[in-house]
């Protein structure tokens, strides 16, 4: 290869072209060095890096990671979303990027632009066809993660949100070992006891990775019901668990109630127990499921809705924690 970046410079000043085998090794080392330089550059060009984890699947972690990215973008911030979950292509779906493939130019990977300008890189972009599950052997998967960290042209970002497969596995470890200056992880849980047990595991896992825990988010926390009747009317609602909720409509006849489908307050309890911040509750909202089907996340389809407000609250709490050490912009510290 005439344009090979590697040569052997002998001490006597002569220059040799290495053998094919040597050249291959040296090019691999050169590539690795370039990647290391790009990664250390990322430390500066990406202000905040937040990992999103959960003990088990189905708690809505990808929905939350995507929602956090969008809620930050809504505030005018530059945001990237790195989706390392090979098992479910939910992130590209919610970002309206289903079927996208990676765009590579001059050896650099370029992110796709999702809703609100969020830059997205997803493992799903590597899949041949989403119905064919790809069995990724450990080293290949971990190599892909290293590439996603070192070879992606993210540009300047305020936040990089990283979504993982459920559970405590190799992927977060690889990211924690390769990506410098991670601000910390947020743990997504539902209010169920079993989910809480899993989030305890995630906290222990975070400690073993030496990544700090920013806090806990309780997802699918309660289902908001509202309606209209005559002013001051009394209502009885049958709630889960055989409970009855008694309500009185206000002077305009409006009423609303929160049904705790999976109990409530468990995330807060775990946070208290482990002395870590509770970042807030996100309601159970069927609109999230629709958003996954039609390619528009709830935050984009209903920016003024209750779920968007809940995400805005969680994002404010995250910002006040991760940005307090960097600048003093008057945000309240919780
Ligand atoms: N707050 C919520 N309310 C209602 N459905 C939700 C909520 N969060 C997530 N979901 C739904 O739950 C399912 C699993 O969500 P997903 O984000 O893929 O979970 P995970 O990444 O933890 O496996 C999806 O169908 C999603 O639309
Ligand atoms: Mg997921």
Kindly give the distance from the C-alpha atom of residue 193 to the centroid of ligand 1, in angstroms, as a whole number.
18
Cα angle, residue 162 at apex, residues 156 and 166 outer, rounded to 5°: 175
Measured in Å, how far apart are the chain's first and last C-alpha atoms?
A: 58
pLDDT recorded at residue 1: 43
Start-end of CATH 3.40.50.300 domains in the chain: 48-221+266-329
Strand order in the sheet with 112-113: 112-113, 119-122, 79-83, 157-163, 46-53, 184-189, 213-218, 278-281
H or E element: which one contains 49? Answer: strand 46-53
Cα angle, residue 314 at apex, residues 187 and 47 outer, rounded to 5°: 80
pLDDT recorded at residue 330: 47
Pick 315 or 137 by higher pLDDT: 315
pLDDT digits (tens, 9 = 90+) for 207-245: 999 999 999 999 998 888 888 999 999 988 887 778 888
H or E element: which one contains 90? Answer: helix 90-94
Q: Has domain 48-221+266-329 been given CATH number 2.102.10.10?
A: no
Q: How many helices (H) and strands (E) does the chain have?
A: 10, 16
Cα angle, residue 31 at apex, residues 13 and 146 outer, rounded to 5°: 155
Q: Which of 70, 89, 58 is CA-nearest to residue 220?
A: 58
User: Which atom in ligand 1 lies closest to the alpha carbon of residue 282?
Assistant: 1
Name residues whose C-beta falls within 8 Å of residue 327's C-beta, 6 or more positions apart in sequence. Answer: none
Residue 54 above 80 pLDDT? yes
Token readout for 331 is 């945000």
pLDDT digits (tens, 9 = 90+) for 102-156: 888 888 889 999 999 999 999 888 776 656 555 666 777 788 888 888 889 999 9
User: Which atom in ligand 1 lies closest to the alpha carbon of residue 219?
Assistant: 1
Mean pLDDT, the chain, as a whole number? Answer: 85
Whether 221 and 281 have beta carbons less than 8 Å apart is answered as yes
pLDDT recorded at residue 136: 65
323 band by pLDDT with thresholds 50, 70 and 90: very high
pLDDT recorded at residue 134: 58
Kindly give the distance from the C-alpha atom of residue 90 to the centroid of ligand 2, in angstroms, as a whole number.
7
pLDDT recorded at residue 155: 92
Token readout for 260 is 């705790």
pLDDT recorded at residue 334: 53
Residue whose pair of structure tokens reads 């997803």 in the numeric block? 122
Residue 332 above 60 pLDDT? no
Token readout for 246 is 């008694």
pTM (predicted TM-score): 0.85
Does 220 contact ligand 1 (Cβ within 6 A)? Answer: yes
Residue to probe by mutation, ligand 1, list 169, 282, 288, 290, most atoms within 8 Å of CB: 288
Residue to probe by mutation, ligand 1, list 51, 53, 60, most atoms within 8 Å of CB: 60
């Amino acid at each position: 290869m005439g344009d090979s970046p590697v040569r052997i410079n002998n001490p006597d000043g002569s220059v040799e072209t290495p053998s094919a085998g040597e050249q291959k090794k040296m090019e691999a080392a050169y590539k690795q060095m370039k990647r290391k330089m790009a990664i250390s550059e990322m430390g500066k060009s990406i202000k905040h890096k937040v990992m999103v984890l959960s003990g088990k699947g189905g708690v809505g972690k990808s929905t939350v990671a995507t929602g956090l990215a969008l809620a930050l973008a809504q505030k005018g911030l530059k945001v990237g979303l790195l989706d390392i979950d090979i098992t479910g292509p939910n992130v590209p779906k919610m970002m309206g990027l289903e079927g996208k493939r990676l765009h590579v130019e001059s050896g650099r990977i370029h992110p796709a632009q999702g809703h609100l300008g969020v830059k997205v890189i997803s493992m799903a972009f590597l899949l041949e066809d989403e119905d064919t599950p790809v069995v990724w052997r450990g080293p290949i998967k971990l190599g892909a993660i290293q590439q996603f960290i070192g070879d992606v042209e993210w540009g300047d970002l305020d936040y990089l949100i990283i979504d993982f497969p459920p559970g405590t596995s190799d992927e977060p470890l690889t990211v924690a070992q390769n990506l410098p200056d991670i601000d910390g992880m947020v743990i997504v849980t539902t209010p169920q006891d079993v989910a809480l047990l899993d989030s305890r595991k995630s906290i222990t896992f975070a400690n073993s990775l030496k990544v700090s825990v920013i806090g806990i988010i309780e997802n699918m926390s309660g289902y908001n019901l509202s309606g209209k009747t005559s002013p001051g009317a009394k209502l009885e609602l049958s709630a889960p668990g055989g409970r009855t909720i008694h309500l009185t409509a206000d002077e305009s006849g409006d009423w609303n109630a929160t049904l705790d489908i999976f109990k409530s307050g468990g995330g807060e309890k775990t946070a208290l127990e482990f002395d870590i911040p509770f970042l807030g509750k996100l309601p159970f909202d069927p609109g999230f499921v629709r958003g996954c089907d039609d390619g528009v996340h709830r935050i984009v389809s209903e920016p003024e809705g209750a779920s968007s407000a809940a995400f805005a609250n969680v994002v404010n709490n995250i910002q006040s924690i991760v940005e307090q050490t960097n600048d003093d912009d008057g945000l309240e510290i919780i």
